[in-house]
């Protein structure tokens, strides 16, 4: 099998490390592998197939010789560096939001629209984590019953905001439990100090939840909500009616979504379950329901709590959970690379 020279940009981050692991686990045919991060991590090493690989400083290295580059170092880095890799002959699979809505860039979830990969002109975008798990469930149902409207509320883990956010939840949880008891008397001064201390999120996330992910736009929606709406429309169809509320919750890994769907055509719960049971990448919970703790490090998008919404003629409610770092980011990117090389 032909081998391919791979680069991972943002290799030391939560997503980048998982990309490296996923490339290894799935036996991707790798010729050479290069790892890039910021100056801060340059000179450190990560393990790949039992060997140490040097982490290079992205901004002071030559970028030649890469066939496929997997990017997960944020929008600003992608904006500056992706075109340089493409110029040097690489195909870039980008995890940032920078290129996702560009009309000439395919936005891909392989199980849903993998056929669009061949339309790439050097850049393929990986959707937002919350979009990937949503469209994997919506697409097969839409094909059969045609979706009229979707209302989604997300319950997103802190890892969606990277390593520093995971650290912040850990620190705040410890501090909260060391300082307070959830019952009886407490020191109000300490409580007020706890409430006002936060660096990654606008307010403490430990023992809390935040109905804000990203900055607010003029219309009152957050950036995350806008991404979820527009990316879903780009993948499923621009006419899809969809609204979203994105909430950050004190969970380390895996995003959950409560989804209400109204179909154009009549449906049965049995019919929906049959479709989801046979949809690639989807794990149907027939009896119980999926939860973030159990989906950690799993590949599937899990769906459960499927039930009719009797308040509208063709309505259904369901609950979707997936590991945001795996299928929500790293795995989806590696699957795109696999489809790319397999034509
Ligand atoms: N976490 C998720 O669920 C998720 C899902 C989908 C997409 N994404 C996207 O993936 C990207 C990374 O997310 P993450 O969770 O892995 O974040 P992270 O844990 O904070 O890691 C960020 C990575 O980017 C590197 N980086 C940052 N600034 C850089 C610069 N100026 N030059 C070179 N490298 C730089 C960091 O290198 P150092 O270690 O040297 O700082 C690190 O490797 C973001 O665009 C995010 O939106 C994340």
Any catalytic annotation for residue 129?
Answer: yes
Contact 109, 232 (CB under 8 A): no
Q: What is the rounded CA–CA span in Å between residue 327 and residue 335? A: 9
**What is the pLDDT, as a whole number, of residue 5?**
98
Which of these is catalytic: 4, 129, 142, 272?
129
pLDDT tens for residues 213-236? 999 999 999 999 999 999 999 999
Q: What is the dihedral sign for C-alpha 28, 21, 8, 113?
A: positive
The protein residue whose alpha carbon is closest to atom 4 in ligand 1 is 160
What are the tokens at 14? 């939560």
Any catalytic annotation for residue 272?
Answer: no
Sequential DSSP letters for 180-232: --SSS---HHHHHHHHT--SSSSS--TT--BS--S-B-TTS-BHHHHHHHHHH
CA dihedral 15, 21, 27, 30 (to 10 degrees): 70
Q: How far is CA 301 from CA 192, 249, 253, 255, 328, in A?
A: 39, 19, 14, 10, 9
Domains of the chain are: 4-126+330-342 (3.40.50.720), 131-157+210-324 (3.30.360.10)
* Atom of ligand 1 minimally distant from the CA of 13: 21
Q: Is the Cβ atom of 129 under 6 angstroms away from ligand 1?
A: yes
Do the strands 123-125 and 147-156 form a parallel or antiparallel pair, or are they unpaired?
Answer: unpaired
Q: What is the pTM of this model?
A: 0.97
Q: Is the Cβ atom of 162 under 6 angstroms away from ligand 1?
A: yes
Phi, psi torsion values for 178, nearest 5 degrees: -75, -30
pLDDT tens for residues 53-105? 999 999 999 999 999 999 999 999 999 999 999 999 999 999 999 999 999 99
Q: Could you tell me the distance, in angstroms and rounded to a whole number, from the CA of residue 69 to the centre of ligand 1?
A: 14
């Amino acid at each position: 099998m032909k081998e391919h020279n791979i680069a991972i940009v943002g290799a030391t981050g939560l997503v980048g490390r998982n990309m490296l692991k996923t490339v290894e686990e799935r036996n991707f045919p790798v010729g050479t592998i290069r790892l890039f991060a910021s100056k801060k991590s340059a000179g450190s090493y990560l393990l790949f197939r039992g060997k140490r690989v040097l982490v290079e400083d992205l901004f002071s290295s030559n970028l030649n010789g890469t066939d496929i580059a997997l990017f997960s170092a944020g929008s600003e880095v992608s904006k500056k560096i992706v075109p340089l890799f493409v110029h040097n002959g690489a195909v870039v699979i980008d995890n940032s939001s920078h290129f996702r809505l560009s009309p000439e860039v395919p936005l891909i979830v392989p199980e849903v629209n993998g056929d669009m990969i061949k339309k790439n002109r050097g850049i393929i975008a990986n959707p937002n984590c919350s979009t990937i798990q949503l469209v994997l469930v919506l697409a097969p149902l839409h094909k059969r019953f045609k979706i009229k409207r979707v209302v989604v509320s997300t319950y997103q883990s802190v890892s969606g905001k990277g390593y520093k956010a995971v650290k912040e939840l850990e620190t705040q949880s410890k501090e909260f439990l060391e300082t307070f008891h959830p019952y009886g008397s407490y020191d109000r001064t300490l409580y007020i100090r706890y409430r006002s201390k936060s660096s990654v999120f606008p307010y403490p996330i430990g023992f809390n939840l935040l109905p804000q992910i990203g900055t607010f736009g003029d219309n009152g929606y957050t950036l995350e909500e806008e991404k979820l709406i527009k990316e879903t429309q780009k993948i499923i169809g621009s006419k899809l009616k969809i609204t979203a509320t994105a909430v950050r919750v004190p969970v380390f890994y895996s995003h959950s979504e409560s989804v209400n769907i109204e179909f154009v055509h009549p449906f049965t719960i049995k019919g929906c379950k049959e479709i989801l049971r046979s949809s690639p990448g989807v794990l149907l919970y027939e009896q119980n329901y999926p939860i973030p703790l159990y989906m950690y490090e799993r590949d599937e998008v899990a769906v459960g709590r499927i039930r009719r919404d009797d308040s509208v003629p063709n309505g259904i409610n369901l609950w979707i959970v997936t590991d945001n770092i795996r299928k929500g980011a790293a795995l989806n990117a590696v699957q795109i690379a696999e489809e790319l090389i397999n034509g």
